[in-house]
Amino acid sequence: MENFHEELRHKINSYVHEVYAVSRGFPKEEMYGITSQLRRAALSVALNYIEGYARFRAGVHKNFIEIAYGSLQESKYLLQFSFEEKYMSEEEYKKLFELAEDIGKMLWGMLRNMNREM
């Protein structure tokens, strides 16, 4: 389980840093709009995963993982929107979206296992 946690934590960390890097190129008028929202959604994935991992009660842990998963879905939509608005290249979009998909599968697998254990 520790290897899984480290792999997921590493992927989430990479995702957040990539989102920040790509969003630096967004239009200045979006600084308080889509740029801020995308960054907050991506960072929320990391923060909720880490906080959930630190919780010992299963129900509380699961709640934070669900929030992380929800934030990931929000960030995926914002990536799509940003790509459609031509704020990022297709290459940047595909790279981020694939990473988000990998993270989503891992979080969803965790939630499925938690549901079985409860």
- Secondary structure of residue 65 in the 3-state scheme: helix
Closest listed residue to residue 70, CA positions, set 39, 33, 107, 37: 107
- What span, in angstroms and rounded, lies between the C-alpha atoms of 104 and 31? 26
Higher-scoring residue by pLDDT: 1, 49: 49
* pLDDT above 70 (res 50): yes
Kindly report the average pLDDT of the chain as a whole number. Answer: 95
75, 88 Cβ separation under 8 angstroms: no
CATH code of the domain made up of 2-113: 1.20.1440.60
Domains of the chain by residue range: 2-113
Per residue in 77-115, pLDDT tens? 999 999 999 999 999 999 999 999 999 999 999 999 888
Residue 6 corresponds to which tokens in the numbers above? 């480290």
40: confidence class by pLDDT, cuts 50, 70, 90: very high
Whole-angstrom Cα distance, residue 12 to residue 99?
8
CB 68 within 8 A of CB 49: yes
Residue of 77, 3, 6 lying closest to 42 (CA atoms): 77
Tokens of 103: 């993270």
